[in-house]
Amino acid sequence: MQHFFKYENNNIKIMNSTNKSQTSIIKFEEFFATSYKDDVFEILETYPDKRSLTVDYNVLEIFDPDLADLLIEKPEEVIEAAQIAIKNIDPLVKDADINIRFANLSNIIPLKTLLSKYIGTFVAADGIVRKTDEIRPRIETGVFECRGCMRLHEVEQSSGNRIIEPSLCSECGGRSFRLLQEESKYIDTQTARMQEPLENLSGGTEPKQMLMVLEDDLVDELNPGDKVRITGVLKTFREERSGKFKNYIYVNHIEPLEQEFEELQLSEEDEEQIIELSKDPHIYDKIIKSTAPSIRGYRDVKEAIALQLFGGAAKQLEDETKLRGDIHILIVGDPGIGKSQILKYVSRLAPRSIYTSGKGTTGAGLTAAAVRDELGGWSLEAGALVLGDQGNVCVDELDKMRSEDRSALHEALEQQTVSIAKAGIMATLNSRCSVLAAANPKFGRFDRYKVLAEQIDLPAPIISRFDLIFVIEDKPSREGDSKLAEHILKIHQSNTVDYEIEPELLRKYIAYARKNVHPVLTDEANTVLREFYVNTRNSNTEEQAPVPITARQLEAIIRLSEASAKIKLKDTVDKEDAEKAVRLQMACLKEVGVDPETGEIDVDIIGGGTPKSDRDKIQKVTEEIELLQEEYAGNAPLNVLISNMADKYDVSQEKVEEIVRNLRQKGVIYEPTHGQFRIIE
């Protein structure tokens, strides 16, 4: 009796399910005939070139709230009913298999909370595409031939890897079948992986990742680094090796997210608080003081980092040329002064940020790695510079990276793209991010009387791409050391830090400014910047004078001016913003761009080139070698060269030997006999 009731209850359930499906089909027929009639007919006319109909979930919810709710709870049944409904209203009788895609789903769930309770439901999730695999065919309908009577059987296949055969031949009762691969029906499929948005993470948290399955016309729509909102059914499968279950999203719709991705979840109260805060006349100083407050001093560095967090205004010219708005900063300093602490703080504060250390970072980890997927094919997996697109990337110990890995930064810093040619994959990915890097002096401590490029183990092309370079020295000072010790002891004693602005509010303030404020240069600001550029370049009237700055520094000052205006949420860059940017740039140039011998600013020193004073000495050494060649029968003795350079030009022996050594390496002179030099003709 018990078994009978159980069977009867099952029958009731099956009937109820059938009735619901039939009701859903009828409702969808009415819905398509009223709300999407033109769209349906347009797709049917172009089928199979176009085979997906995108439905706005909000429109469906207004039409029938119960049907919209049922879509969330039982997505596969409802989507199947919608596909049947389109076939029923098809006037062309094409029997078309139209994909129904649902956009603007209200059920948006963060990846970190997308757990087992959502399995089988319709969900939407935001994320960054981390990796995309090869496109492969999947059997949708398998055609099997009975080995006994040759009768053909069609069997619908699931999305799993196992082939489902007929259980029994309806003709001869045989159980042995052969799959006819050419006769079977296939569908394109691709797997991809995305991770949760970086701005949703608190510092140090590992981002949650989710596997995605794309089919039919959704394949090849995603690239590593893309910001997307994925709508689909959360499903689970059992891994063959481990036997454990793993979740994935069977994707129904892809919505690209670009500019709005920078925005945190800001309520109306947040926006009111942000606008009110921007009216504070001391907001500029408050934001600087709120940047790495646990570290005392370094106002210029903190001001530069605050400007970097807000960023300048990116522009695209009519000829498709792109001008970056992101500001790159390099901090060079003695050990133990808090460089890493500053980088860590910025990585936690910035709305989108990634922290990486040079020793444990490879070129592939910065750009993109070519990795093998489960079936042996190659796919790209996005690295730090790609995942940090439209955010901040903090690279600590930049000087400790291998030279071949550092070269990955060249293109990313200026062009803000990452070009990949690996394992037969050719791709260009966006890396529109600000880079904050830290490096230690090559010989342990910074020497004020040597040029910067000699003291950092970094190539000149990378150094020259940073807008601002700061040198922080650890100099003993009774007064300064006393205040620093007091500050550190107070933090250790109370475990608290004094904030001018709370970090969470500051994060929202930065996100709001980056999204909504795009300041434009005023005539007054233009005048300040133009006069600074022209006057600085022409400050020395000598014909062969060193070049103090180039157009690269001018563009950096423009970006700093725009960022200064953004801090106050202004629509225009005023005179005071330009003056602040000029002061900051000059402070950096005086730190790292001054020739120790002449005391003049020389831009070649910053980029690792030869300073003007050294170029003059090189020219005098080569002229002296030519004179000595005539006097000493073709060969110039080194000891006489050293003596003459000291007497005539007051050049030290060490400098002459260094210049001779460099000229030999560059192939300008050679040494036919020991201690004798000759210029190569």
The span from the CA of 611 to the CA of 595, in Å, is 7
Q: Which residue has the higher pLDDT, 678 or 260?
A: 678
Fold of the domain built from segment(s) 13-103 = mini-chromosome maintenance (MCM) complex, chain A, domain 1 (3.30.1640)
- Rounded to 5°, angle at Cα 586 from 282 and 588: 90
Q: Report the distance separating Cα 73 and Cα 238, nearest Å.
A: 22
Q: What is the rounded distance in angstroms from the CA atom of residue 508 to the CA atom of residue 264? A: 7
- Predicted confidence (pLDDT) at residue 261 exceeds the cutoff of 50: no
Q: What is the pLDDT, as a whole number, of residue 14?
A: 36
Where in the chain are all domains bearing CATH 3.30.1640.10?
Answer: 13-103
**Lowest-pLDDT range of 102-116, 470-484, 550-564:** 470-484
CB 70 within 8 A of CB 78: yes
pLDDT tens for 267-279 read: 788 888 888 888 8
More confident residue, 95 or 81: 81
Among the listed ranges 15-24, 491-500, 538-547, which one has the minimum average pLDDT value? 538-547
Cα 297 from chain centroid (whole Å): 30
pLDDT tens digits along 554-599? 888 899 999 999 988 888 999 998 888 888 888 877 776 555 555 5
- Give the Cβ contact number of residue 134 at 10 Å: 14
Average pLDDT, the chain: 77
Question: How confident is residue 202, by pLDDT bands cut at 50, 70 and 90?
Answer: low
pLDDT in tens, 240-250: 777 788 888 88
To the nearest 10°, report the CA torsion of 251, 255, 260, 262.
30
Tens digits of per-residue pLDDT, 185-199? 888 888 888 887 766
pLDDT of 541 over the 70 cut: no
**CATH homologous superfamily for 111-257?**
Nucleic acid-binding proteins (2.40.50.140)
Strands 378-382, 368-372: parallel, antiparallel or unpaired by DSSP?
A: antiparallel
Contact in structure between 652 and 663 (CB atoms under 8 Å) = no
Most trustworthy range by pLDDT among 121-125, 487-491, 537-541, 621-625: 121-125
**How many CB atoms lie under 10 A from the CB of residue 266?**
16
Q: Which of 202, 208, 199, 255 is nearest to 113 (CA)?
A: 208
pLDDT at 37 over 50: yes
Work out the pLDDT band at 10, boundaries 50, 70, 90.
Answer: very low
Once rounded to an integer, what is the mean pLDDT over residues 626-637?
A: 79
Question: Pairing relation of β-strands 227-238 and 315-316?
Answer: unpaired
**How much is the CA Rg of the chain, to the nearest whole Å?**
34
Give residues with Cβ within 8 angstroms of 82, minimum separation 6: 24, 28, 32, 55, 100
Q: Where in the chain is the domain with CATH 1.10.10.10?
A: 612-679
Say whether pLDDT at 362 is over 80: no
Helix (H) or strand (E) holding 396: strand 392-396
List every span in the chain annotated with CATH 3.40.50.300.
Answer: 268-476+493-592
pLDDT attached to residue 360: 67
C-alpha separations of 475 from 70, 335, 337, 447 in Å: 69, 12, 10, 11
Two tokens at 45? 């006319």
In the chain, what percentage of residues exceed pLDDT 70? 80
**Which residues in the chain are classed under CATH 2.40.50.140?**
111-257
Is 277:283 a contact under the CB 8 Å cutoff? yes
pLDDT per residue as tens digits for the range 167-191: 888 778 777 888 888 888 888 888 8
CATH homologous superfamily, domain 268-476+493-592: P-loop containing nucleotide triphosphate hydrolases (3.40.50.300)
The predicted model gives 259-268 an average pLDDT of: 57
Determine the pLDDT at residue 453: 64
CA distances (Å), origin 164, targets 148, 288, 374, 624? 19, 65, 21, 88
User: What is the Cα 163 distance to its own chain's centre?
Assistant: 40
The SS3 assignment for 269 reads helix
Closest C-alpha to 143, from 166, 161, 162, 159: 166
Between the alpha carbon of residue 130 and those of residues 197, 216, 434, the distances in Å are 11, 21, 20
Look at domain 612-679 and name its CATH class.
Answer: mainly alpha
Residue 48: asked if its preceding bond is cis (omega within 30°), the reply is: yes
Average pLDDT over residues 281-301: 81
pLDDT band at 91 (very low <50, low <70, confident <90, very high): low
**Does the structure show a pLDDT above 80 at 116?**
yes
Confidence band, pLDDT 50/70/90 cuts, at residue 540: low
Counting residues of the chain whose pLDDT is more than 90, the rounded percentage is 0
DSSP state of 476: -
Q: How large is the average pLDDT for residues 494-516?
A: 79
User: 1 pLDDT band (50/70/90 cuts)?
Assistant: very low
